[in-house]
Amino acid sequence: MVNTKVNLSGLELSNPIIPASGTFGYGYEFAELYDINILGSFSFKGTTLEPRFGNPTPRIAETPSGMINAVGLQNPGIDKVISEELPKLKKCFNKKVVANISGFCIDEYVECCRKIDKEEQVGIIEVNISCPNVHGGGMALGTSPEMAAAVTKAVKEVTTKPVYMKLTPNVTDIASIAKACEEAGADGISLTNTFLGMRIDLRSKKPVLANKFGGFSGPAILPQALRLVYLVYEAVDIPIIGMGGVSTAEDVIEMMLAGATAVQVGAANLVDPYVCRDIIEALPAVMEKYGIKDLNDIIGGAH
CATH number at residue 28: 3.20.20.70
pLDDT of amino acid 142: 83
Q: Assess if residue 122 is contained within a domain.
A: yes
Question: Distance between CA atoms of 270 and 290, rounded to whole angstroms?
Answer: 29
Residue 175 belongs to domain spanning = 19-218+230-236
pLDDT of amino acid 134: 58
**For the residues 95-111, what does the mean pLDDT come to?**
95
Q: Assess if residue 251 is contained within a domain.
A: no
User: Residues 275-295: pLDDT tens digits?
Assistant: 999 999 999 999 999 999 999
Longest dimension (CA), the chain: 57
Q: Find the helix or strand (DSSP H, E) in which 261 lies.
A: none
Q: Assess if residue 212 is contained within a domain.
A: yes
Confidence of residue 175 (pLDDT cuts 50, 70, 90): very high
Cβ proximity of 13 and 3 under 8 Å: no
pLDDT of amino acid 136: 54
Question: Distance between CA atoms of 111 and 50, rounded to whole angstroms?
Answer: 11
Q: Assess if residue 177 is contained within a domain.
A: yes
**Residues taking part in catalysis:** 131
SS3 2: coil
β partners of residue 266: none
pLDDT at 189 over 70: yes
pLDDT of amino acid 267: 97
pLDDT of amino acid 143: 86
> Which residues make Cβ contacts (< 8 Å) with residue 120, sequence separation at least 6?
none
In angstroms and rounded to an integer, the radius of gyration of the C-alpha atoms of the chain is: 18
Virtual torsion, Cα 130, 273, 209, 195, nearest 10 deg: 30
Cβ proximity of 40 and 187 under 8 Å: no
Share of the chain above pLDDT 90, in %: 95
SS3 181: helix
Residue 119, Cβ density class (10 Å: 0-12 exposed, 13-18 middle, ≥19 buried): middle
User: Residues 209-256: pLDDT tens digits?
Assistant: 999 999 999 999 999 999 999 999 999 999 999 999 999 999 999 999
pLDDT of amino acid 141: 78
Q: Assess if residue 60 is contained within a domain.
A: yes
CA 74 centroid distance within chain: 16
Number of structural domains the chain divides into: 1
pLDDT at 38 over 90: yes
Share of the chain above pLDDT 70, in %: 97
- Taking residue 219's Cβ as centre, other Cβ atoms within 10 Å add up to 18
Q: Assess if residue 269 is contained within a domain.
A: no
pLDDT of amino acid 137: 53
Question: Which amino acid type is present at position 56?
Answer: P
pLDDT at 61 over 60: yes
User: Residues 105-144: pLDDT tens digits?
Assistant: 999 999 999 999 999 999 999 999 976 655 555 556 788 9
pLDDT at 34 over 70: yes
Q: Assess if residue 292 is contained within a domain.
A: no
pLDDT at 197 over 70: yes
Residue 11 — φ and ψ, nearest 5°? -95, 110
pLDDT of amino acid 138: 57
pLDDT at 208 over 80: yes
**For the residues 178-194, what does the mean pLDDT come to?**
97
> Which residues make Cβ contacts (< 8 Å) with residue 162, sequence separation at least 6?
8, 9, 10, 11, 123, 124, 125, 187, 188
Q: Assess if residue 42 is contained within a domain.
A: yes
